Amino acid sequence: MSTLASLRLLRKPWNASKGNQSNATVGASSGWCQGLDIPNELFLVLGLVSLVENLLVVAAILKNRNLHSPTYYFICCLAVSDMLVSISNLAEMLLMLLLEHGVLVMRPSIIRHMDSVIDMLICSSVMSSLSFPGVIAVDRYITIFYALRYHSIMTLQRVVVTMVSIWLASTVSSTVLITYYSSNTILLCIIGFFLFMLVLMLVLYIHMFTLARHHLHSISSQQKPPTTHRGGSLKGAITLTILLGVFFICWGPFFFHLILIVTCPTNPFCICFFSYFNLFLI
């Protein structure tokens, strides 16, 4: 197993440069390309913190009946997705620590099978973690633009079908990803999916922000004397920036990593970037 989350597609660039070992050597010889040595214990602590945080979100939604609505069901699913990532990383970190310290002895074939299961769980969680923010954005969009028809559009049956479909699609796609991890076509599909979700949220949230700004402007123009709507617009812009900014900052390095795997797996600069994946994983 690798020294960090053992996704095959992230190990691929190092194995793919068989005919370009000189480039890899040049890229790795520079001091600033040595990567960042992060102890497994740190990943273990971060995994525990993430697990507890997401458990609290799930518990709050399940316990509070006022939160039993489509929006919070989707948020609950998003928390479960992130929780599965934490659990899989925790399981892998614990297994690696036990193996490194000789506490646990296992046959290589069993380790490979466990590695595959953990990789599949991580990939499935990643796909669902990308999907549910987009679904939440669509739900918010329907709430604003189709307020009177919201409950007839977002029925409990449709909500359940949507959640089940996302989990099923994430499981199937993770199986395909693990099976054909060496195919650039698979990686391009994942990158395309990330860009699609990013553009979808960008378009929906900007449209919602534009409507809110127009609404504030209309209210301001009807009042005598007219009141300023600058503060409300600024708050909306800040909220929009936080929503999309955090999403992009958290996922950006990972998908930039995938783009480099497809475009320049043996380039010294790309190899140098690969060596810092521990930092991006945090």
Distance CA 134, CA 139 (A): 9
Q: What pLDDT, on a 0 to 100 scale, did the predictor assign at position 35?
A: 66
Question: Count of alpha carbons within 13 Å of 46, Cβ hemisphere only?
Answer: 14
Q: What is the DSSP string of 45-82?
A: HHHHHHHHHHHHHHHHHHH-GGG-SHHHHHHHHHHHHH
Residue 18: pLDDT band (50, 70, 90) is very low
Q: What pLDDT, on a 0 to 100 scale, did the predictor assign at position 224?
A: 55
Distance CA 149, CA 158 (A): 14
Distance CA 32, CA 187 (A): 28
Q: What is the DSSP letter of 91?
A: H
Domains of the chain: 39-199 (1.20.1070.10)
Place of tokens 């301001």: 220
Tell me: cis bond preceding 39? Omega within 30 of 0 counts.
Answer: no
Distance CA 197, CA 244 (A): 11
User: For 108-120, what is each residue's pLDDT tens digit?
Assistant: 777 777 777 887 8
Spatial neighbors of 203 by CB under 8 A, at least 6 apart, are none
Measure CA 230 to chain center. 33
User: For 83-136, what is each residue's pLDDT tens digit?
Assistant: 888 888 788 777 777 777 777 777 777 777 777 788 788 888 888 988 999 999
* Residue closest to 38 by CA, chosen among 201, 278, 280, 269: 278
Q: What pLDDT, on a 0 to 100 scale, did the predictor assign at position 277?
A: 78
Place of tokens 């499935």: 124
Q: Poorest-confidence range of 43-47, 56-60, 159-163, 200-204?
A: 43-47
Higher pLDDT, 30 or 194: 194
Q: What pLDDT, on a 0 to 100 scale, did the predictor assign at position 167?
A: 93
Query: Residue 104: how many CB atoms within 10 A of its CB?
Result: 13
Query: Residue 155: how many CB atoms within 10 A of its CB?
Result: 11
Mean pLDDT of 138-145: 88
Neighbour-count burial of 201, counting CB atoms closer than 10 A to its CB (0-12 exposed, 13-18 middle, 19+ buried): buried
Residue 225: pLDDT band (50, 70, 90) is low
Give the C-alpha distances (Å, rounded to integers) separating 143 from 40, 51, 148: 44, 30, 8
